Amino acid sequence: MKPIYLVDLTSIKDSAGARMDLRDQVTLPNFTWEGERLLEFDNPWWIELEITNVSRGYQVHGKTGGRYWLDCDRCLERVRLALETEFDDLFLPESISSQEEEARSFAGDELDLSATIMEAVVLQIPLKVLCASTCRGLCSVCGTNLNKAACNCKTESFDPRLATLLKWKQDKGGGDDGQS
Ligand SMILES: [Zn+2]
Ligand SMILES: [Zn+2]
């Protein structure tokens, strides 16, 4: 995967304690969320970074924020959401990072912040997204978006017990057309 964000360490690599502050923009890659729904970022996102040379590596503290699109859980319409998140990561040279589980690794004069940023963002995305708390969803029979139109199906509040009952009646040849 192409890195999302790389930091050039040249200006602080030779002096322990040196710090660089950055304000920038970042383009986040769209991906599939929870199986089949596409999570699309409204790019670019803003990003703020403080990177400190801690002699054996680099401490990164940062924030990022922006907007993104997901499908409503009930009606599948696109919903635009916003989030802001913070992250803190220690980067150590590849040779020693493997001994510290909490640390990420880097090589050369560059930090790849892709995983740091994407993990922080993904952790803030809600598992359930609704376009509105009152969303009426889709008709389970004809698929009509019930926020936009009404349909004539008789399943307004779909109750699985009712479906079982209807099926049982149909199997018996009784039907349920209200004329019996
Ligand atoms: Zn909805
Ligand atoms: Zn319907």
Contacts of residue 179, defined as CB under 8 A and 6 or more positions apart, other chains included, come to none
- H-state helical runs in 9-109: 94-97
For residue 16, give both structure tokens: 């322990």
Which residues, by Cβ under 5 Å, contact ligand 2, an ion? 139, 141-142, 144, 151, 153
The structure's pTM equals 0.78
Q: What is the pLDDT of residue 180?
A: 42
Starting from the CA of residue 75, give the closest ligand: 1
Pairing of strands 31-33, 104-106: unpaired
Starting from the CA of residue 142, give the closest ligand: 2
3-state helix, strand, coil in the chain (%, to 5): 15, 40, 45
Say whether pLDDT at 88 is over 80: yes
Contact between 123 and 117 (Cβ < 8 Å): no
- pLDDT bin (cut points 50, 70, 90) of residue 149 is very high
Write the pLDDT tens digit of every residue in 43-56.
Answer: 999 999 999 999 99
Contact between 48 and 71 (Cβ < 8 Å): no
